[in-house]
Amino acid sequence: MSFQMKELLFSIGEELAADDLEALKFLCLDLIPLKKQETIQDALGLFRLLREKGMLEEGKLSFLKELLFRIHRIDLLKAHLGTSHGDVERELEEPGRAQVSAYRYLLYQIAEELTKENLTSIKFLLLSELPKSKLQSPTTALGIFIHMEKHGKMNEGDLGMLKKILKDVQPSLLIPIEEYEEKSRARAGAAGNLSTALGQLSLTTGNYNQQVSSPKAAEEMERISQIMAPYKMNHLPHGFCVIINNSEFQNPQNTRRGADKDAAALDKVFSWLQFKVEHHNNLKGEAISRVLRAYSERDHTDQDCFICCLLSHGQKGEILGTDWEPVPLRALLGLFTSSACRTLATKPKIFFVQACQGGQGQGGLSLRGREGALLEADAVVIPSVPDWADLLVGMATVEDFICFRRPRHGSEYIQALCRALETFCPRGKDLLTILTHVNKEVGQKVFGSNKQMPEVKFTLQCPLIFPVPESGNEREEQEEGC
């Protein structure tokens, strides 16, 4: 950290009063646990812990700006950070930009409205709920709220006890709680609808002849995407598109013929969509992990998104290196969680996986399709995507089943994906709607006596819409929509 940065934090810390520090610590509880906060004696102690969490770095002051905005220290925003109330307010209105949880901020706002008389009444009403010793020490509403949380009387999903108390003490404060609960239900409903819609589009059991798509699910997904604000995509390039293409394996009979067609198609479409495309070919297992770890350690501050395309052989929950060394997909995703890659926090991280059969070094299964064209079967399975925000994993097939690749033309999944992106991005369609079309296209094809069904797992919080360059509309094809 430079001397200028230290001087800046010192100057801000010098102007923060004791009640400011208490408020900041409370707003940071989701990042810095209460036990660790016991060591904080002043603002500089808090700043040190925030630096350790990667939330306060040179050139990365958005969280500090938000904190000062939340506690109404607009004077410090102007004097030391060169920004205004309006600037920060507009930034926080953008989806995914706020880093203080809505729950934590709600409690802070309520605490701001409570008088000393209110606190006395609240302590009295809590006598039957909390030990008396715990009610003697807190002198502020924030302290009382912390004890309520510690004793299981309140959490972000259950504000019943707080509402019961405020109904007697300060009924007007029930309004912001009810607004918070309504927004929480709306978010949960939207996420549930998206998950339900997507679930109707994917095979979840071992029957290749099951229904492979649902028009109603597609319509619901697109409707939801239209009422939610999309992720922000305003940097150029938007971010990295990393293509890892393993085609040459130790045993020549396991060569992934047609893989170069997939890599070229992905390069073409994501270069057009204004991503910085970088290729890594024929990597051993250890090298796959090393390469992606290097990307997770890069600074993505001035980027909107990260895309990774994994083209290789695979087995249950794993991608295989050219040395047949397995790499768990979960471990690769873990490199890009919000805690592991801070500069991609709240930004979409997209993984497309075309993983092939060959976990035991066996050759690909050759089949003949309806038109007699040679097909090769790829096998892949999917571990459950961890409950980390802003991730999407598009798989070539559902768990435990095979997918297909044409040696002369590339894989069915990747080629359908690239065609759909070229067709629907100029129409402003979001990525989940586009992947619905891919599911439908691939799912309707017959490979010998088999079918293939792609699968998508995601924790996206907003629709993801790839903007196209001004001249990009000419790529739009006259095809039927989803």
Active site residues: 313, 356
Instruction: Give the C-alpha separation, 80 to 435, whole Å.
Output: 46
Angle between the 141-150 and 102-113 helix axes, to the nearest 10 degrees?
140
Cα 410 to Cα 223, 346, 416: the distances in Å are 33, 33, 10
Instruction: Give the C-alpha separation, 213 to 194, whole Å.
Output: 14
Look up residue 164 and give its two tokens.
């019961």
Instruction: Give the C-alpha separation, 474 to 223, whole Å.
Output: 26
Cβ neighbours around 10 below 10 Å, total: 12
Look up residue 357 and give its two tokens.
């059969």
Which CB contacts under 8 angstroms, 24+ apart, belong to 276-281? 276/237, 276/239, 276/240, 276/241, 277/240, 277/241, 277/243, 278/240, 278/241, 278/242, 278/243, 279/243, 279/245, 280/242, 280/243, 280/244, 280/245, 281/244, 281/245, 281/246, 281/247
* Inter-residue contact 421 to 273 (CB < 8 Å): yes
Cα 415 to Cα 255, 334, 447: the distances in Å are 19, 27, 15
Instruction: Give the C-alpha separation, 222 to 216, whole Å.
Output: 10
* Inter-residue contact 377 to 404 (CB < 8 Å): yes
Instruction: Give the C-alpha separation, 421 to 425, whole Å.
Output: 5
Cα 90 to Cα 85, 95, 168, 327, 376: the distances in Å are 9, 11, 36, 42, 52
State which H helix or E strand residue 143 sits in: helix 141-150
Distance of CA 52 to the CA centre of its chain: 22
Beta bridge partners of 401: 380
Closest CA to 241 of 282, 283, 269: 269
Alpha helices (H) in 200-247, listed in sequence order: 215-227
Instruction: Give the C-alpha separation, 304 to 343, whole Å.
Output: 10
Instruction: Give the C-alpha separation, 93 to 88, whole Å.
Output: 9
Give the pairing type, strands 326-328 and 318-320. antiparallel
